């Protein structure tokens, strides 16, 4: 049976007002299968019995499901009409009963209406772009709202038409500002919407069911997901590393493909220019390949375009997270390759700092991930490769060199093996618990313990940032709770949950089944680890981190467990922080970073984008002038010559990009990726460690790093 879809066709546009006609578009209806009916019951049963968060399957969940489902389908509120939303209200309190019985009628009915709205809208936009009578006047004083996720759905067709006219106009203006003619811009935008139309036409039952199921699982937490058989297959391919690529985790966000994180040691991580939260707008094959616009593409399609044989080049056109339009992009060249275990290995160097005419040697160990060669471990091979074994070797070498203190750099370390986090902690503390794990039945596992005498008992600082997650947070939390060292950086990610993958009748369910807690009783979930000394980072914590997710499990606290207290830093931290602030105020590179963060903050505050070309050109020039201003401020502080105008500044940026690419290529072939002399935050962390060493050695402190006392929770010290 075929269902007619209403297609809106532009007939006349006069003074920016659209008049629309109607044509018919036919799409095959999508119906769920008996297996999918049984699968949704299976999903519900597993969520009830195994998920860490207990949620009653009742009308409240049903109401939340409808909101979640609609936000998943139409996050910008551009496709549905308010009358559609009103018509869905009859289902609001019925989804709980429907899913219990395997009834997916209402969910598929809503999706069918969504397909109608998308199909008709894509057709109307394409007609508008092909109609020569439709004028796009970029001299008018007009603007468009950036985020519509909290705006009402349009009430009438005319209201929706105006929204879409502005959206198309914005896309055209962005492309014009990127150097395309209006006709070229129309062609690019038309291709985007043709692809979206084709995608909606090619959707099958599995696509719909995956969307329906994930709107349910996301009510529990952001890491609980349903995987269709196709998604499960892609996951298995990625885990086996059987395909080459760039080593980046990607996700869809509105029309864009967004970089979630980089795989440590992967091609993109080594190249150094691609950053988490960047949005990919285009992909080109090889140095001479033409950039293919991928805005509006399915995630799998973009991934397939980026993947390819090792030792081949892929170029990505990306826009930064603080950019409001796709007009502000840059092209990044990456050599594809495999992610090898040795590329993720810990590395070390020595940072030499002067103080009172003396040279202080600070050992630096960079650990990109918590890795282990599971196969070699299972075969009980001696000295198998793992993060803790490698760090132990590096530590021995640094101690032979007579280091005065150690920095363990866990910035951007997204985690990995839990046992390796425990083993690494074992190198710095004597016997004692490292982490507590609580399951849904309130059983608490405290078996993950340090079991040997510490290898290194000297001064220690752990560097973290917003991308330090999971196992990194377990290690940093233990070091902080034991008073073994101080934590420097930004608040960590806050990923304090454990997931397992469960097979279903169709596909699989990744489900959150337990939660991490520190020995202090604090959860690492949501809050993460709060550093003792804060450092800046060019990532917005409202966009990255557990707290940025809806329905993330909350922070909470359980009983602490008895553990040693090696040092009480509370008496010296205020002094250390004050000394750090004074140094930072005089550091040109440090303040340059703060100025960049402030610009990013101001850009984020913008709620609208102008559709006037002259205004946009002026805004772009003002942004460049501001960038030149803070760069000249930095150069003046370092005794360098200032840029006299934008032309000179732009030329310097082009030169710097070429130099950066050459430096990245050299670093990729070098043994160490640590730049101890070019990292302002690392150098300042070294100075902080020197302060800690000096202050802890004063007689009035009467404390030393090898001083320990037993700490019993609840007993005053």
Catalytic positions, please? 470, 481, 495
Strand bridging mode 358-366 / 405-409: parallel
Task: Specify the residue for token string 């760090």.
Answer: 391
Half-sphere exposure of 514 (CA within 13 A, CB side): 16
* Separation CA 88–CA 330 (nearest Å): 43
CB neighbours (10 Å) of residue 68? Answer: 19
In DSSP terms, which residues pair with 330 in a beta bridge? 318
* Separation CA 479–CA 567 (nearest Å): 11
Q: Are 5 and 26 within 8 A, CB to CB?
A: yes
For the chain, the distance separating the N- and C-terminal CA atoms, rounded to the nearest angstrom, is 77
* Separation CA 252–CA 616 (nearest Å): 27
Torsion angle of C-alpha atoms 658, 632, 688, 521, degrees rounded to 10 = -80
* Separation CA 437–CA 447 (nearest Å): 9
* Separation CA 536–CA 90 (nearest Å): 49
Q: What are phi and psi of 662, to 5 degrees?
A: -65, -40
Q: Are 310 and 337 within 8 A, CB to CB?
A: yes
Residues sharing a CB contact under 8 Å with residue 473, sequence separation 6 or more, in sequence order? 415, 464, 492, 493, 494, 495, 496, 516, 524, 528, 529
The H or E element spanning position 497 is strand 497-503
Q: Are 260 and 270 within 8 A, CB to CB?
A: no
Radius of gyration (Cα) for the chain, nearest Å? 28
Greatest alpha-carbon pair distance for the chain in Å reads 87
Q: Are 12 and 19 within 8 A, CB to CB?
A: yes
Q: Are 279 and 296 within 8 A, CB to CB?
A: no
Alpha helices in 384-525 (DSSP H): 387-400, 418-426, 471-481
Q: Where are the beta strands (DSSP E) in 44-161?
A: 143-145
Which DSSP string corresponds to 417-451? -HHHHHHHHHTTS-SEE--EEE-TT--EE---EE-
Q: Are 186 and 129 within 8 A, CB to CB?
A: yes
649: left (phi over 0), alpha (psi -120 to 50) or beta: alpha
244: left (phi over 0), alpha (psi -120 to 50) or beta: beta
| Closest alpha carbon to 606 in 322, 312, 403 | 322
Which DSSP string corresponds to 3-30? EEEEEEEEEEEETTEEEEEEEEEEE---
* Separation CA 703–CA 332 (nearest Å): 51
Alpha helices in 272-317 (DSSP H): 299-306
CB neighbours (10 Å) of residue 510? Answer: 18
Q: Are 416 and 370 within 8 A, CB to CB?
A: yes
* Separation CA 47–CA 217 (nearest Å): 8
């Amino acid at each position: 049976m075929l269902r007619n879809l209403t297609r809106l066709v532009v007939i006349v546009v006069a003074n920016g007002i659209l008049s629309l006609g109607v044509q018919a578009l036919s799409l095959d209806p999508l119906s769920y299968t008996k297996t999918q009916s049984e699968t949704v019951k299976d999903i519900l049963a597993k969520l009830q019995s195994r998920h860490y968060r207990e949620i009653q399957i009742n009308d409240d969940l049903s109401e939340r499901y409808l909101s979640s489902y609609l936000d998943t389908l139409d996050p910008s509120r551009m496709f549905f009409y308010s009358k559609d939303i009103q018509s869905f209200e009859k289902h609001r309190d019925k989804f709980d009963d429907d899913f219990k019985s395997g009834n997916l009628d209402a969910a598929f009915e809503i999706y069918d209406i969504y397909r109608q709205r998308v199909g008709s809208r894509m057709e109307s936009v394409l007609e508008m772009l092909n109609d020569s009578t439709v004028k796009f006047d970029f001299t008018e004083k007009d603007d468009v709202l950036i985020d519509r996720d909290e705006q009402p759905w349009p009430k009438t067709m005319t209201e929706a038409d105006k929204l879409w006219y502005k959206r198309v106009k914005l896309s055209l203006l962005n492309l014009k500002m990127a150097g395309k003619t209006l006709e070229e811009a129309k062609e690019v935008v038309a291709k985007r919407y043709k692809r979206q139309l084709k995608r909606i036409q090619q959707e099958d039952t599995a696509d719909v069911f995956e969307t329906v199921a994930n709107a349910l699982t996301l009510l529990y937490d952001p890491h609980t997901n349903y995987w269709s058989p196709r998604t499960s297959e892609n996951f298995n391919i990625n885990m086996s590393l059987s395909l080459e690529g760039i080593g980046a985790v990607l996700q869809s966000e509105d029309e864009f493909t967004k970089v979630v994180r980089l795989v440590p040691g992967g091609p993109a991580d080594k190249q150094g220019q691609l950053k988490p939260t960047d949005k990919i707008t285009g992909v080109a094959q090889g140095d001479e390949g033409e950039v293919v616009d991928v805005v509006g593409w399915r995630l799998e399609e973009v991934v397939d375009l980026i993947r390819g044989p090792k030792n081949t080049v892929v170029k990505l056109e990306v826009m930064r997270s603080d950019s409001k339009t796709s007009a502000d992009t840059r092209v990044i060249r990456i050599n594809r390759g495999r992610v090898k275990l040795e590329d993720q290995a810990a590395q070390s160097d020595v940072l030499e700092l002067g103080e009172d005419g003396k040279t202080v040697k600070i050992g630096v160990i960079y650990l990109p991930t918590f890795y282990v060669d599971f196969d070699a471990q299972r075969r009980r091979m001696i000295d198998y490769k793992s993060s803790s074994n490698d760090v132990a070797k590096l530590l021995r070498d640094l101690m032979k060199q007579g280091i005065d203190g150690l920095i363990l750099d866990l910035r951007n370390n997204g985690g990995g093996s839990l046992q390796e986090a425990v083993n690494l902690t074992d190198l710095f503390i004597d016997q004692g618990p490292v982490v507590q794990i609580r399951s849904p039945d309130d059983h608490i596992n405290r078996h993950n313990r340090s079991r040997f005498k510490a290898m290194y008992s000297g001064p220690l600082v752990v560097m973290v940032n917003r991308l330090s997650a999971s196992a990194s947070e377990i290690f940093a939390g233990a070091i902080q709770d034991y008073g073994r060292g101080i934590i420097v950086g930004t608040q960590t990610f806050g990923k304090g949950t454990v997931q397992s993958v469960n097979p279903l009748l169709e596909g699989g369910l990744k489900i959150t089944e337990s939660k991490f807690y520190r020995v202090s009783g604090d959860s690492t979930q949501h809050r993460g680890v709060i550093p003792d000394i804060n450092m800046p980072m060019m990532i917005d914590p409202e966009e990255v981190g557990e707290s940025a997710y809806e329905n993330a499990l909350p922070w909470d606290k359980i009983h602490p467990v008895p553990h040693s207290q090696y040092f009480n830093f509370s008496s010296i931290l205020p002094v250390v922080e004050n000394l750090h602030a004074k140094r930072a105020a005089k550091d040109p590179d440090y303040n340059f970073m703060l100025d960049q963060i402030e610009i990013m903050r101001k850009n984020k505050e913008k709620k609208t984008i102008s559709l006037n070309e002259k205004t946009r050109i002026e805004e772009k020039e003002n942004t460049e002038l501001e960038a030149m201003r803070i760069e000249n401020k930095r150069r003046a502080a370092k005794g360098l010559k200032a840029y006299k105008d934008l032309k000179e500044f732009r030329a310097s940026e082009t030169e710097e990009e070429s130099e950066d690419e050459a430096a990245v290529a050299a670093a990729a072939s070098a043994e160490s990726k640590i730049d101890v002399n070019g990292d302002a935050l690392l150098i300042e962390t070294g100075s902080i460690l020197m302060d800690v060493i000096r202050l802890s050695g004063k007689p009035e402190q009467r404390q030393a790093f090898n001083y320990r006392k037993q700490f019993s929770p609840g007993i005053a010290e």
